[in-house]
Amino acid sequence: MSVTVVSAKYVTPAEVGTTNKPQGQYVELTLTMKDTGKSPARVMTYGNLKWEDSSTAAQDVTTLEGVGTGASLDTEYKPGQSVTGKLVLDVARKGGVLSYTYTEDPDAEAVFKVKLPSA
Express each pLDDT in 55-99 by its tens digit: 999 999 999 997 767 789 999 999 999 999 999 999 999 999 999
- Mean pLDDT, residues 15-20: 92
Distance, in Å, from the CA atom of 99 to the CA atom of 59, rounded to the nearest integer, reads 10
Left, alpha or beta for 16 (phi > 0: left; psi -120 to 50: alpha)? Answer: alpha
Output the pTM of the full model. Answer: 0.88
99-116: pLDDT as tens digits: 998 876 555 565 889 999
Whichever domain contains 39, its CATH number is: 2.60.40.1240
Domains of the chain: total: 1
Q: Give me the domain span that covers residue 42.
A: 2-115
